[in-house]
A and B are shown apart, each in its own frame.
Chain A
Amino acid sequence: MTKDNHTFKQKMAQLEELLAWFESDQVTLEAAVEKYEQALALSKELEEELKLAKNKIEIINKKFTQ
């Protein structure tokens, strides 16, 4: 897996974790504000990546005949 893939996956995982925290019963006010900001930033970053990224498609320069 390449670095980029890790970044996207990692961010998604972090975001899911934060959202899950909000559903738990450990929510305190101070932590909530901080985690909200984190989640918001992550969410915006992921959105940017999804919207802008293009696919790189290439045909391998090799013949597979015998």
Chain B
Amino acid sequence: MRETSVLSVSDALDVLNDTLAAAVPALIVEGEVSGFSVNRGKFVFFDLKDEEASLPCFMMAFNLRFPLQDGMKVRLLATPSITAKGRFSMTVRELQPVGEGSLKKAYEILKKKLEAEGLFAPERKRVLPEFPKRIAVVSSSGAAGWADFTKILNERWGGLEVSLADVSVQGLSAPAEVIKAIEYFNQQSELADLLVIIRGGGSADDLAVFSHEDVVRAVSASRIPTVVGVGHETDESLAELAADLRASTPSNAAQLIIPDKKDLLERLTSGRAALLTRLSDAIEDWQNEVSTNRQALSTYLSHFLKSTQQQVGHHLELIRQFSPEAALQRGYGVVKGENGIISSVKNVRIGERIQVSLKDGTLGATVNDKRQSHL
């Protein structure tokens, strides 16, 4: 037996663990869950197995972001270690269900839970700004989804300021990256007008990140209004349900968040035509009013003239009737003395010479006597 230094059991364990850590820092393993149990609500134990072998796994309950059940297939990132009791164990850092069955189960359980919390309630959904200017995007720069999104954006509108947080949108590391990006945008001193989270189509495994509990909660908690557009044909991801607006694909997201300038230009052009019509209508109305007024005025004037003429004629007639000539015609006479017309017996002396005008001539006479009547 070769002589090595003599170690205590604890030291031996440390050596073994150090060696393990150096040689195998982490493994990604896929297998089926069995013997799942939670100890004191904090410690999660299960075995990960395939047809021939199994590995004991351990993780902290708060790290478990998907509901696990025996029989579910999962993919995990874990580091190997030997416990103080000499038991081998894989300490799980990240875990996600894989395969349609597992994913669907996890999805259903989580959906019920978050729905009960009210995360998907329609009343929570904010109205998006009509003309956003600064747009924050969480996506992968290499993904087709991003390219489609920017292409449609450029076709539809101008003057936008778009910032992309370049992250993985699938795989074990995706949830943490997406959450970090969402938080980054929410921490800026000047918040963007919209937060758009997009990726193109993919398998159920690829899209798992969008139904990861922490991701869904981060979307829900965003102070910036959120738009989630994940291309797929099956169920909506939970992040889409939690978002303020759901787009069916990245291209659709670009269509939903901004108007099409073509439409707006058309509206402006037709608006100008309508404006011109209304203006000429206004002019026509005014012209009609003026001509109606003119007519009314002239009608009024002619009535006024007529009635005035009538009145004047009437007055003339009266004047004529009361004129002295009319009186003479009726048989009256006008008496004149030395001092002009005599209208009172007081203005006459006995023996005075007077002149009486009748309708057809005058008489010369002398006053013989006079008598005053008492009325």
A residues sitting closer than 8 Å to B (CB atoms) are 1-2, 4-5, 8-9, 12, 15, 18-19, 22-23, 27-29, 32-33, 36, 39-40, 43, 46-47, 49-60, 62, 64-66
Contact = CB atoms under 8 A, between A and B. Distances in A.
Contact of A5 (B133, B150, B177, B278): B133
Contacts of B282: 22, 27-29, 32
Given A50-B158, A55-B157, A60 B164 contact: yes
A53 B158 contact: yes
Contact of B134 (A2, A18, A27, A32): A2
Contacts, number: 119
Centre residue among A39, A50, A52 by max chain B CB count within 10 A:
A50
Given A5-B193, A36-B279, A64-B165, A43 B132 contact: no
A61 to B, nearest CB: 9
Given A50-B261, A57-B150, A39 B166 contact: no
A60 B165 contact: yes
Given A5-B193, A50-B261, A55 B159 contact: yes
Contacts of B134: 2
B131 interface: yes
Chain B interface residue number, banded: 35 or more
B279 A60 contact: no
Contact of B275 (A19, A29, A54, A65): A19
Interface in B171-193: 173, 176-178, 180-181, 184, 193
Contacts of A15: 268, 271
B154 to A, nearest CB: 5
A23 to B, nearest CB: 7
Q: Which secondary structure dominates chain A's binding surface? A: helix
A30 B285 CA distance: 13
Nearest to B150: A57
A4 B163 contact: no
B131 A59 contact: no
Contacts of B261: 50-51
B233 interface: no
B163 A58 contact: yes
Given A29-B283, A58-B164, A62-B165, A46 B133 contact: no
Contacts of B43: none
A55 B163 contact: no
A32 B279 CA distance: 6
Contacts of A33: 279
B193 A60 contact: no
Contact of A9 (B130, B160, B167, B279): B130
Given A27-B285, A57-B162, 17 more contacts: A2-B133, A8-B159, A12-B131, A18-B275, A27-B278, A29-B282, A32-B283, A36-B276, A39-B271, A43-B272, A51-B261, A55-B157, A55-B162, A58-B163, A58-B164, A62-B184, A64-B167
Interface string B272-289: 101110110011011000
B164 A57 contact: yes
Contacts of B35: none
Contacts of A40: 272, 275
Contact of B164 (A47, A52, A59): A59
A56 B134 CA distance: 10
Nearest to B289: A29
B202 interface: no
Contacts of A53: 157-159
Nearest to B178: A64
Contacts of B173: 65-66
